[in-house]
Chain A
Amino acid sequence: MVRSELNERGPLRVFEKSINGGLGKGHVGVLASKKGVGKTACLVHIATDKLFRGRHVIHVSFSQKVDHIVNWYEDIFKEIAKKRDLQDAIDIHDEIIKNRVIMNFNSQGTTIDQVLKSLGAMMTEGNFPADSVIFDGYKLADASQDDMDKLKAFAKESNIELWFSVSLNGETPTFNDAGIPTLLVDRIKDIDVLVTLKYEGDHVRFQVIKDHDNMETKDMSLKLDPKTMLIARE
């Protein structure tokens, strides 16, 4: 398969279709689930899909080392290339790598001001024209309203979309009647798109809880392939 075909037919088109054509620049999207379901894999797949389409992505992480994030990207790329039998995979890989930067914030007590300052430096001094920023492992639910406002303002001013992963507490997280995780009930007004991941039987299903102005819960007809950790059609 050639790259353009992959872009047109990939499962991520289904993903975008169910959230009204995509998150959109200046907006905040959240992927929520309990720990260990596969949020990082999904974010990396979403990011890789953007890279395939020539977009620029910054991946912000808060872990100890960047190596394993790089490995995530390598694995997801390999799986996609294998599954879709991608032509010129090596060249495409080298090309899209140029459009991805991983920024890791390791110290405890990193403030959102520091993160945004570094992102700003990467985009201006580093001349990196980011389209999307992926925040993996940022405790969005615990952020102050002030920090949340700063993040939203940053998304608007820089004209980029922000994707967050949010880990829900405990083995069986609670949700309200509208399907919103209890942890995020107070935050929902600041979130444009909310997608939850839940185990159902032996696989993980995707549900849209909030899609811009639409608060109706919808099934996305997508699942997470437990072997490859890729987002796949049901």
Chain B
Amino acid sequence: MKTDISKMRNIGISAHIDSGKTTLTERILFYCKRIHSIHEVRGKDGVGATMDSMELEKERGITIASAATSVNWKGYDINIIDTPGHVDFTIEVERALRVLDGAVLVLCSVAGVQSQSITVDRQMKRYNVPRIAFVNKCDRTGADPLKVKDQLVDKLGHNAVMIQLPIGLEDKHEGLIDLVTMKAVYYRGEDGEDIEITDIPSDLLSQAEEKREEMLDAVSMFSDELMEAMMEESVTEDMIHDAIRKGTISQELTPVCLGSAYKNKGVQALLDATTRYLPDPTEVENIALDLDDEEKEIVLEHDLEKANVALAFKLEDGQYGQLTYIRVYQGHIKKGSELYNTRSRKKFKVGRLIKMHADHMEDITEAECGDIAALFGVECASGDTFVQTGLNYSMTSMFVPAPVISLSIEPKDKKAADNMGKALNRFTKEDPTFRTFVDPESNQTIIQGMGELHLEVYVERMKREYGAEVEIGKPQVAYREAISKMAEFNYTHKKQSGGSGQYGRVAGFIEPLEDGEYEFINKIKGGAIPTEYIPACDKGFKSSLDKGSLIGFPIVGVKVTINDGQSHSVDSSDMAFQLASRGAFRDAYSRAKPVILEPIMKVSIEGPTEFQGNVFGSVNQRRGIIISSADEGTFSSVDAEVPLSEMFGFSTTLRSLTQGKAEFSMEFLKYGKVPKGISEELIKNYEEKRRQESGK
């Protein structure tokens, strides 16, 4: 079976909370199923059990809550990939964005472009995802799709163009005018499935003509053919579609559709736009990293005959066990074939291969490049890359940012303790930025992540999904230590009294390393230290970085150069040189002006302008630096850089400062130097703690 890849779409639907993403998704599935059941004969083998759970889903006979759902619209196969709503789960969101070829940005016609839309849009831009916009809720009081289009231009910097106009707004919203065909489209019948196409009502004709002109002007930039046809007045619909498609795929144009999913208006037209303007998998360049060649970028080819490359982008615990959703980028994966997981370096056999449809699960025998499928019972983590044996590619960089915050958790009872283990095991597989370990000193379970909210959400999920209630401790910031200047060392480790002796001398210098955690340079000439002991020196220095002497946190950014030393024919050993190196580091470290680093977060706050002063004040009180503020009239936003240690409880403070009308998002930006006063305090506390521990 070779599918027509030009008729395949992998899309995401992304939206701010409350802009109607769920309703829209549900309507899309509903209409697609209708079309499907009318035009195609079902009954291929393996029509699996339905997976309905929610009431709404039961009623309609479809599944909404799935990581990827395949539907069919007018002969096109559309995979709808769920994009998580939380902007804090950067990794999870970004992983979902990786597998999309295009997206529908849903906006509320009343609220317009909101802070979360801005964050999600920024991420999509980073991953070069072409977008079309859907202005939803045109039936709401205060609906103004044209204003939302202007916001797309102003706030998000899109070259947004209306390709439709509403027929009536608020409670009079009946349908839309298609500016390409210049026809009025009404959605009749109980579920809006009876589409009536008529001439444009006379009172809207002049506006429609004006907006069509605007649209053509913008769109013709992408097609010489269209531009010529405009001059000769021989424009065809296909020319316009082609030009919009070109503009959309190059991300230089955002076509804007509108309607009301709740009132069943405009969804079918949105589906048409999705299939017409968003790219098929071959039109998007995908890059893998060659792990055998320093993560060199390799452009993958849409070729069924090439070696297989697929990305596991989501794991789901279903009633049938673990489902692993994959996107195939190159080659085709067959049931029964062998794949290699480049992260775990394990081979496995493809057992059951399935496709999730809105109303059933279909067993398939192969998944071709460009497509999305799911595997049953594969042991892996999300983000893993599966390849044909012989390749060593990864779809995502193996670099995972180090967690910046940790929290101790304690199960409330025995049952919670068991479930907590299961939950933690699952979460660490799903999210590489979430880590957990048992602190050997306090014997407590520690969870680590990218922010307070990040950890809070997992604590909440533990309770809700796994019935594991836990007590949480105070959040702890992941500080780092670093050196700020060069320091030389010349250290001899000597123990030659009785028994087998130890002897080793190392000399050289340590200096700050701008990017990277650790580098070891061997400049020994003439065998002052025999080559066989060099790895031991490297190991000795490296292990010294685990715990700094200032406050006991790991040391980062150190370049060690050794250029001299001495060995003893009998008493030198690996151990002796390791100890000499550790001693040398300890000795040089204090002279290299060590400093404490703390995670600095990029914080974006948005709220009514009347509270601007309060927001400025709260950032300032938290040692934050305001980078910029943007005043949009009644609404304004502030971008700031604030140390993570000062951000605890910020959501509560912000809520009370602004009567709950402001919201904020934050992500890790960089490590920055801790100011002197605070640094001294941290050192004092650490010394105090150590004194207490040794006094015990």
Give me the interface of A with B, judged by CB distance under 8 Å: 64-66, 69-70, 90, 94, 97-98, 101-107, 109-110, 114-115, 118, 121-122, 124-128
B157 touches A65 (CB 8 A): yes
Chain B nearest Cβ from A51, distance in angstroms: 13
The segment from B198-206, B586-594, B612-620 that touches chain A is B612-620
A102 touches B632 (CB 8 A): no
A105, A107, A110, A124: the one within 8 Å of B613 (CB): A124
The chain A residue with its CB closest to the CB of B626 is A101
A127 touches B620 (CB 8 A): yes
Also in contact, A122 and B154, with CB within 8 A (given A104-B629, A106-B630): no
Also in contact, A106 and B631, with CB within 8 A (given A64-B154, A65-B157, A126-B619): yes
The chain B residue with its CB closest to the CB of A114 is B631
A104 touches B620 (CB 8 A): no
A105-B631, A126-B613 are known contacts; what are 4 more A-B pairs with Cβ within 8 Å? Answer: A65-B157, A104-B628, A121-B612, A126-B617
The chain A residue with its CB closest to the CB of B484 is A91
Q: Which residues of B (503-542) have their CB < 8 Å from a CB of A?
A: 514
Chain B nearest Cβ from A162, distance in angstroms: 18
B617 touches A125 (CB 8 A): yes
B514, B616, B632, B672: the one within 8 Å of A107 (CB): B632
CA distance A70 to B614 in the complex (A): 24
A118 touches B612 (CB 8 A): yes
B625 touches A125 (CB 8 A): no
B625, B631, B632, B672: the one within 8 Å of A103 (CB): B631
> Inside 8 A of A124's CB, which chain B residues have their CB?
613
Q: Which of A124, A125, A126 counts the most chain B CB atoms within 10 A?
A: A126
CA distance A126 to B636 in the complex (A): 15
A110 touches B628 (CB 8 A): no
Asked if B627 is an interface residue, CB under 8 A from chain A, the answer is yes
Residue interface bits B159-177, CB-to-A below 8 A is 1, else 0: 0000000000000000000
> Inside 8 A of B625's CB, which chain A residues have their CB?
97-98
Number of interface residues of B (CB under 8 A): 23
CA distance A103 to B640 in the complex (A): 12
B631 touches A107 (CB 8 A): yes
A106 touches B154 (CB 8 A): yes
A110 touches B629 (CB 8 A): no
Asked if B633 is an interface residue, CB under 8 A from chain A, the answer is yes
Q: Which residues of B (617-670) have their CB < 8 Å from a CB of A?
A: 617, 619-620, 625-633, 636, 639
The chain B residue with its CB closest to the CB of A122 is B616
Residue interface bits B666-685, CB-to-A below 8 A is 1, else 0: 00000010000000000000
> Inside 8 A of B629's CB, which chain A residues have their CB?
101-104, 118, 122
Chain A nearest Cβ from B634, distance in angstroms: 8
> Inside 8 A of B639's CB, which chain A residues have their CB?
66
B157 touches A118 (CB 8 A): no
CA distance A122 to B612 in the complex (A): 9
B627 touches A101 (CB 8 A): yes
> Inside 8 A of B620's CB, which chain A residues have their CB?
125-128
CA distance A208 to B570 in the complex (A): 81
Chain B nearest Cβ from A113, distance in angstroms: 12
CA distance A2 to B650 in the complex (A): 40
A106 touches B627 (CB 8 A): no
B617 touches A66 (CB 8 A): no
> Inside 8 A of A127's CB, which chain B residues have their CB?
617, 620
B631 touches A125 (CB 8 A): no
A128 touches B626 (CB 8 A): yes
Chain B nearest Cβ from A92, distance in angstroms: 14
> Inside 8 A of A110's CB, which chain B residues have their CB?
631, 633
CA distance A128 to B620 in the complex (A): 8
> Inside 8 A of B514's CB, which chain A residues have their CB?
90
Chain A nearest Cβ from B160, distance in angstroms: 13
A66 touches B616 (CB 8 A): no
28 pairs from A and B in contact (CB 8 Å cutoff): A64-B157, A65-B157, A66-B639, A94-B672, A97-B627, A101-B628, A102-B628, A102-B629, A103-B630, A103-B631, A104-B629, A106-B154, A106-B630, A106-B631, A106-B633, A107-B632, A107-B633, A118-B609, A118-B612, A118-B629, A122-B616, A125-B614, A125-B617, A126-B620, A127-B617, A127-B620, A128-B620, A128-B626
Chain B nearest Cβ from A109, distance in angstroms: 8
CA distance A107 to B619 in the complex (A): 24
Residue interface bits B175-208, CB-to-A below 8 A is 1, else 0: 0000000000000000000000000000000000
> Inside 8 A of A115's CB, which chain B residues have their CB?
631
Chain B nearest Cβ from A206, distance in angstroms: 29
Chain B nearest Cβ from A227, distance in angstroms: 27
Chain A nearest Cβ from B200, distance in angstroms: 31
CA distance A122 to B633 in the complex (A): 17
> Inside 8 A of A125's CB, which chain B residues have their CB?
613-614, 616-617, 620
> Inside 8 A of A104's CB, which chain B residues have their CB?
628-631
> Inside 8 A of A102's CB, which chain B residues have their CB?
627-629
The chain A residue with its CB closest to the CB of B634 is A107
> Inside 8 A of A107's CB, which chain B residues have their CB?
631-633
CA distance A2 to B626 in the complex (A): 27
Q: Which of B514, B617, B619, B631 counts the most chain A CB atoms within 10 A?
A: B631
B617 touches A103 (CB 8 A): no
CA distance A64 to B630 in the complex (A): 9
> Inside 8 A of A97's CB, which chain B residues have their CB?
625, 627
Q: Which of B609, B629, B672 counts the most chain A CB atoms within 10 A?
A: B629
Chain A nearest Cβ from B532, distance in angstroms: 39
> Inside 8 A of B612's CB, which chain A residues have their CB?
118, 121
Q: Which of B157, B626, B632 counts the most chain A CB atoms within 10 A?
A: B626
> Inside 8 A of B628's CB, which chain A residues have their CB?
66, 69-70, 101-104
Chain B nearest Cβ from A11, distance in angstroms: 27
Chain A nearest Cβ from B581, distance in angstroms: 29
The chain B residue with its CB closest to the CB of A66 is B628
Chain B nearest Cβ from A41, distance in angstroms: 19
CA distance A121 to B154 in the complex (A): 25
The chain B residue with its CB closest to the CB of A127 is B620
CA distance A97 to B614 in the complex (A): 22
CA distance A90 to B557 in the complex (A): 15
The chain B residue with its CB closest to the CB of A100 is B627
Chain B nearest Cβ from A72, distance in angstroms: 12
CA distance A101 to B617 in the complex (A): 14
CA distance A109 to B628 in the complex (A): 20
> Inside 8 A of A114's CB, which chain B residues have their CB?
609, 631
The chain B residue with its CB closest to the CB of A107 is B633
B157 touches A122 (CB 8 A): no
The chain B residue with its CB closest to the CB of A126 is B616
CA distance A69 to B613 in the complex (A): 23
B631 touches A121 (CB 8 A): no
The chain B residue with its CB closest to the CB of A98 is B625
CA distance A98 to B626 in the complex (A): 8
> Inside 8 A of A64's CB, which chain B residues have their CB?
154, 157
Also in contact, A126 and B627, with CB within 8 A (given A106-B632, A107-B632, A121-B616): no
Chain A nearest Cβ from B277, distance in angstroms: 25
Also in contact, A66 and B630, with CB within 8 A (given A106-B154, A118-B612, A127-B620): yes
The chain B residue with its CB closest to the CB of A90 is B514
Leading 5 A-B pairs by shortest Cβ distance: A126-B616, A107-B633, A121-B613, A125-B617, A102-B628
Chain A nearest Cβ from B238, distance in angstroms: 34
CA distance A106 to B609 in the complex (A): 12
> Inside 8 A of A66's CB, which chain B residues have their CB?
628, 630, 639
> Inside 8 A of B614's CB, which chain A residues have their CB?
125
Chain A nearest Cβ from B640, distance in angstroms: 10
CA distance A18 to B620 in the complex (A): 37
Q: Which of B154, B157, B625 counts the most chain A CB atoms within 10 A?
A: B625
Chain B nearest Cβ from A43, distance in angstroms: 16
> Inside 8 A of B633's CB, which chain A residues have their CB?
106-107, 109-110
> Inside 8 A of A101's CB, which chain B residues have their CB?
626-629
CA distance A109 to B639 in the complex (A): 23
Chain A nearest Cβ from B493, distance in angstroms: 36
CA distance A101 to B614 in the complex (A): 16
The chain A residue with its CB closest to the CB of B621 is A127
B627 touches A70 (CB 8 A): yes
